[in-house]
Amino acid sequence: MTKNVKIAIGLIYILCLGLILYGFFIFIDITQLNDYSYIRDKTQFLISIKDQNPLWFTIIFFLFTIIWILLLGFATPISLISGFIFGKYFGTLVSVLGFTIGCTLLYILANQYFKDLIREKFSSRIIKFKDLFNKNEFLYFMIFRFAGGGGTPFAIQNLLPALFNMKVKNYFFSTLIGLFPMVFILSAMGEGIEKIIQNNMDPSFLSMIQNKEIFFPMLGFFAILISSFLLKKIFFKK
């Protein structure tokens, strides 16, 4: 990759990240995040915009999700917000598709321009799994996604297959399937939080875990964590 291309990519990254942060701090006053009424008003404002312009709001949120993942953003907050705004079913669909497309575009970009850098930084940690992935890259990467990457940060998970020259088609569908369970659980939790706020209930931890809309997704979340631990032990043993 030439120096000019590196500079261009770096500038685009900084510009996009700066715009997102600028928009966030205009909309949110972080000094009032401990004020329940402030959070309730902001969330009601977002939901009212969504209800007035559902198609455009969904498109913008979907495109934002893709860009957020391209900027190496975290998936968890987007999943919660998506469930909060759209409900657990449609929110899961929007999030999973946005994540999958964003991850795939990031993988293509990394495989094209940053493979040497990725190999330099991570090959010593992941090379032991190369033969494993080469046997069935779709299956093992899907399990890797489902297992939360074995504790690997989400942004790093998206880049590691560049070490194995994974097929884009296999990357796309293994990500789509592998992310689905956890995203659904997080979206369900987001929907449960939205109902608590809309009903003006006490947003304490105790009231939340007593609410079935949050309690059962939390059980599912811990079940996923336990399953992920077991899958890591079975499929990704040292």
Contact between 107 and 162 under an 8 Å Cβ cutoff? The reply is yes
Q: Look at 28-37, 161-170, 189-198 and tell me which has the smallest mean pLDDT.
A: 28-37
Contact between 96 and 83 under an 8 Å Cβ cutoff? The reply is no
CA distance to 1, 3, 31, 100, 202, per residue, from 168 (Å): 21, 26, 43, 11, 46
> Is residue 33 over pLDDT 80?
no
Per-residue pLDDT, averaged over 26-41, amounts to 65
Give per-residue pLDDT as tens, 70-110: 888 888 889 988 988 898 899 999 999 999 999 999 998 88
Q: Look at 101-105, 132-136, 169-173 and tell me which has the smallest mean pLDDT.
A: 132-136
C-alpha 160/C-alpha 198 separation (Å) is: 41
Per-residue pLDDT, averaged over 101-125, amounts to 79
C-alpha 43/C-alpha 179 separation (Å) is: 26
Between 216 and 109, where is the model more confident? 109
Residue 150 in any domain: the answer is: yes
Per-residue pLDDT, averaged over 55-62, amounts to 92
Contact between 228 and 146 under an 8 Å Cβ cutoff? The reply is yes
What's the one-letter identity of residue 97?
A: L
Between 214 and 54, where is the model more confident? 54
Between 15 and 39, where is the model more confident? 15
pLDDT-derived band at 160 (thresholds 50, 70, 90) equals: confident
Residue 33 in any domain: the answer is: no
Residue 206 in any domain: the answer is: yes
Per-residue pLDDT at 123: 65
In sequence order, what are the residues at sequence separation of 6 or more whose Cβ sits closer than 8 angstroms to the Cβ of residue 165? 111
Residue 127 in any domain: the answer is: yes
Most confident of 55-69, 131-145, 151-165: 55-69
> Is residue 51 over pLDDT 90?
no
C-alpha 234/C-alpha 200 separation (Å) is: 45
CA distance to 15, 187, 216, per residue, from 221 (Å): 35, 11, 9
Residue 152 in any domain: the answer is: yes
Count of structural domains within the chain: 1
Contact between 163 and 127 under an 8 Å Cβ cutoff? The reply is yes
Per-residue pLDDT at 59: 93
C-alpha 183/C-alpha 221 separation (Å) is: 10
Give per-residue pLDDT as tens, 178-211: 899 889 888 888 888 777 777 666 555 566 666 6
Please, is 81 exposed, middle or buried when counting C-beta atoms within 10 Å of its C-beta (0-12, 13-18, 19+)?
buried
Per-residue pLDDT, averaged over 28-46, amounts to 67
> Is residue 62 over pLDDT 90?
yes
Q: Kindly report the pTM of this predicted structure.
A: 0.81
Per-residue pLDDT at 50: 87
Q: Which domain holds residue 173?
A: 3-18+38-235
CA-based nearest residue to 224, from 192, 190, 178, 171 = 178
Contact between 184 and 84 under an 8 Å Cβ cutoff? The reply is no
Between 119 and 93, where is the model more confident? 93
C-alpha 39/C-alpha 52 separation (Å) is: 20
What percentage of the chain has pLDDT greater than the value 70?
69
Residue 23 in any domain: the answer is: no
Residue 76 in any domain: the answer is: yes
Residue 24 in any domain: the answer is: no
